[in-house]
A and B are shown apart, each in its own frame.
Chain A
Amino acid sequence: AQSVTQLGSHVSVSEGALVLLRCNYSSSVPPYLFWYVQYPNQGLQLLLKYTSAATLVKGINGFEAEFKKSETSFHLTKPSAHMSDAAEYFCAVRPYGGSQGNLIFGKGTKLSVKP
């Protein structure tokens, strides 16, 4: 079965520092991959998605992610953290040919940004 693993349930960075949130997937065939962000007391918002076009995907709010097939990874980065980036981030995979587009989510990484 497909799965996605997010390394680190909590990540803390200083304002202005690099943000790196890790995501690895298990799949023999490259799936569709997504990053979502959830701000406190809100639903999930799509940050970016990989659908087998460019391997470097740019999203909203300055985030980007690189698909690396050899490492089965889809890590999320942002060069300079802002206080407003504090939120929970979820990596998700939709298996290639998956039924009705169901997403499988990782367990989430909570990002804290220190002043």
Chain B
Amino acid sequence: DVKVTQSSRYLVKRTGEKVFLECVQDMDHENMFWYRQDPGLGLRLIYFSYDVKMKEKGDIPEGYSVSREKKERFSLILESASTNQTSMYLCATKRQGSSYTFGSGTRLTVV
């Protein structure tokens, strides 16, 4: 089975801090995604990547950036964290023709 590992389950950061959320997969999946999940809003796509060094904006990219220097790792960066970025962040991976595999999520609180 594909394993998608998000480095932290819970994270508390201060307003204005630069925050890195890491996602690592142990299979050779081309596509990787970052979603945020908020009550009543479902999952919303922030960024995705279909290859190393490639990135595409999703539906809500403002305030975020991403990095994919290696195929197995996809990082989400909050350049200057704000309280409205308090949320659950979910990473997912996908090979062409297959289904998504999700990580367990990182619950980020910005105070």
The digit string for A71-115, where 1 denotes a CB below 8 A from any CB of B, is 000000000000000000010000000011111011110000000
**With contacts A42-B105, A43-B102 known, is A100 near B48, CB below 8 A?**
yes
State A100–B48 Cα separation when bound (angstroms): 9
Let me know if A9 and B43 touch, CB within 8 A: no
Residues of A near B105 (CB, < 8 A) are 41-43
Residues of B near A106 (CB, < 8 A) are 42
Interface residues of B (CB under 8 A from A): 4, 9, 31, 33, 35, 40-45, 48, 50, 56, 58, 90, 92, 94, 96, 99-100, 102-105
State A105–B99 Cα separation when bound (angstroms): 14
The digit string for A26-41, where 1 denotes a CB below 8 A from any CB of B, is 0000000010100001
Let me know if B94 and A101 touch, CB within 8 A: yes
A-B contact count (CB 8 A): 51
The 4 closest A-B pairs by CB, nearest first: A43-B102, A107-B42, A105-B43, A44-B102
State A107–B39 Cα separation when bound (angstroms): 8
Q: Which residue of the partner chain A has the closest CB to B90?
A: A43
Out of B4, B9, B45, B96, name the residue touching A102 (CB < 8 Å).
Answer: B45
Q: In chain A, residues 8-53, which have Cβ atoms closer than 8 Å to a Cβ of chain B? A: 9, 34, 36, 41-46, 49
State A34–B42 Cα separation when bound (angstroms): 14
State A46–B58 Cα separation when bound (angstroms): 21
Q: Which residue of the partner chain B has the closest CB to A49?
A: B99
What is the CB-to-nearest-CB distance from B97 to chain A, in angstroms, rounded to a whole number? Answer: 8
Residues of B near A34 (CB, < 8 A) are 99
**With contacts A90-B42, A107-B40, A107-B41 known, is A101 near B103, CB below 8 A?**
no
Let me know if A100 and B41 touch, CB within 8 A: no
